[in-house]
């Protein structure tokens, strides 16, 4: 890659970052626990959505020791609505490793950080550079977009070899202020050179040496490989009520949305009469069908088409846990796919 171009990045970005960086809560200090938590939360999630979760999480679990000892249901409840729940399960696993293998102290070496559950090269690079000022690049979609435009490189950015090449090239030009440089690259890619919109080249600190700007190709970059079509799955969801209580159950402890709570459900879309018959098989006796709705939820590779039936039953039977609304709100982490049905309860 063009080192002569990339080596101009620190001189352009560092003063720009000092003047233009957003005031974000995880930038208040360089505590590696705080940086680690923020980077995990920010994966696939908007900054504005993370702010509240970040504050609540640290208020409840202010230390790595507290995270390692947290009850799983309480942990999932803190994460409820953020999605990608494997992230928080790996946070706890990594905290437990830190407690047992590192005497409760966050490791400082890249290899040790990379070995923690749920931490990949991007997160390890972010922690090493931001917390410890080590010249380790944190290369995500934002950074790949910036580099592909600056170099006018149409290589698909989702190719692992391209990401590895960008990481290696950036680490060759890292300045002493490694943490600020990492965050400056992230900031540029999230704002001026942001995703899904026209780049604001007129105010970009890199426009004097950006080949994409000079060649008028920045708007066409970055390139990506064609997406694979999502698999569609139909599901019938039962929102069952009885005397102010609702039926929920735990999902299996492995697989998609592992160990979270859900409303009872079966594969396929059942007609109303077939749905009532399904209740009989669960030893439940329907009193009334209040409502049916169609909803969907999109995962990375799967889309659920969800038909929901709001039903009142005669008694809280079946192989379910029956909770009041306040109990569900306080203790049961419903992933967004099922929480969308719960949020409509007040309209039933």
Instruction: State yes or no: is 39 an active-site residue.
Output: yes
The string of pLDDT tens digits covering residues 144-163 is: 999 999 999 999 999 999 99
Average pLDDT of 126-139? 98
From CA 343, how far away is CA 83, in angstroms rounded? Answer: 16
From CA 252, how far away is CA 261, in angstroms rounded? Answer: 9
The per-residue pLDDT for 44 is 85
What tokens were used for 13?
Answer: 């970005």
The string of pLDDT tens digits covering residues 209-258 is: 999 999 999 999 999 988 888 899 999 999 999 999 999 999 998 999 99
Q: What are phi and psi of 320, to 5 degrees?
A: -130, 165
DSSP class of 258: T
pTM: 0.87
Taking CA atoms, 107 is separated from 32, 92, 310, in Å, by: 9, 15, 50
Q: Which member of 2, 7, 19, 39 is catalytic? A: 39
Flag whether pLDDT at 48 surpasses 50. Answer: yes
**Beta-carbon neighbour count of residue 17 at 10 Å?**
20
The per-residue pLDDT for 192 is 96
From CA 348, how far away is CA 100, in angstroms rounded? Answer: 49
Sign of the torsion angle spanned by Cα atoms 278, 281, 283, 287:
positive
Average pLDDT of 103-124? 97
CA atoms within 13 A on the CB side of 9: 30
Instruction: Tell me the CA end-to-end span of the chain in Å, nearest whole number.
Output: 59
The string of pLDDT tens digits covering residues 1-44 is: 678 999 999 999 999 999 999 999 999 999 999 999 999 999 98
From CA 277, how far away is CA 56, in angstroms rounded? Answer: 43
The per-residue pLDDT for 346 is 56
Average pLDDT of 74-96? 94
Average pLDDT along the chain: 95
From CA 94, how far away is CA 115, in angstroms rounded? Answer: 9
Flag whether pLDDT at 111 surpasses 70. Answer: yes
The per-residue pLDDT for 348 is 42
231-347 is a CATH 3.90.79.10 domain: yes
The per-residue pLDDT for 197 is 87
From CA 130, how far away is CA 117, in angstroms rounded? Answer: 20
Query: How do the domains of the chain map onto residue ranges?
Result: 3-138+158-195, 231-347
The string of pLDDT tens digits covering residues 272-312 is: 999 999 999 999 999 999 999 999 999 988 999 999 999 99
DSSP string over 59-85: HH--SHHHHHH--HHHHHHHHTTS--T
3-138+158-195 is a CATH 1.10.340.30 domain: yes
Of 92, 120, 57, 89, give the one whose Cα is nearest residue 257. Answer: 89
DSSP string over 6-48: HTTHHHHHHHHHHHH----GGGS---HHHHHHHHHHHTTS-HH
The per-residue pLDDT for 196 is 85
Q: What is the largest CA-CA distance in the chain?
A: 74
Check: CB of residue 99 under 8 Å from CB of residue 64: yes
Flag whether pLDDT at 347 surpasses 80. Answer: no
């Amino acid at each position: 890659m063009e080192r002569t171009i990339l080596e101009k990045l620190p001189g352009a970005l560092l003063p720009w970052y000092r003047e233009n960086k957003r005031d974000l809560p995880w930038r208040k200090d360089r505590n590696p626990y705080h940086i680690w938590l923020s980077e995990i939360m920010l994966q696939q999630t908007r900054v504005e959505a993370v702010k509240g979760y970040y504050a609540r999480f640290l208020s409840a679990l202010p230390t790595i020791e507290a995270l390692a000892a947290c009850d799983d249901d309480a942990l999932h409840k803190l994460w409820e609505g953020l999605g990608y729940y494997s992230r928080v399960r790996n946070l706890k696993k990594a905290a437990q490793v830190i407690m047992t293998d590192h005497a409760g102290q966050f490791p400082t070496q890249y290899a040790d950080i990379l070995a923690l559950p749920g931490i990949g090269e991007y997160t390890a690079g972010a922690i090493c550079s931001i917390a410890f000022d080590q010249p380790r690049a944190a290369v995500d979609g934002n950074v790949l977009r910036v580099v592909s435009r600056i170099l006018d490189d149409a290589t698909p950015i989702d190719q692992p070899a391209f990401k590895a090449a960008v990481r290696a090239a950036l680490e060759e030009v890292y300045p002493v202020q490694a943490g600020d440089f990492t965050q400056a690259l992230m900031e540029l890619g999230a704002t001026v050179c942001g995703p899904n919109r026209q780049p604001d080249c007129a105010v970009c600190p890199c426009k004097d040496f950006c080949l994409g700007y000079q060649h008028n190709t920045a708007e066409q970059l970055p390139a990506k490989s064609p997406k694979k079509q999502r698999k569609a799955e139909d599901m019938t969801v039962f929102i069952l009520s009885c005397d102010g209580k609702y039926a929920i159950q735990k999902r299996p402890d492995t697989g998609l949305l592992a160990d979270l709570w859900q409303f009872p459900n079966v594969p396929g879309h059942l007609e109303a009469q077939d749905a009532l018959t399904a209740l009989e098989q669960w030893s439940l006796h329907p009193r009334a069908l209040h409502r049916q709705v169609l909803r969907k939820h999109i995962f990375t590779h799967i889309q659920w088409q969800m038909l929901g039936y709001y039903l009142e039953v005669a008694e809280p039977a079946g192989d379910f846990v029956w909770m009041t609304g306040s109990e569900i709100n306080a203790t049961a982490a419903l992933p967004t796919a099922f929480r969308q049905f719960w949020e409509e309860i007040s309209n039933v």
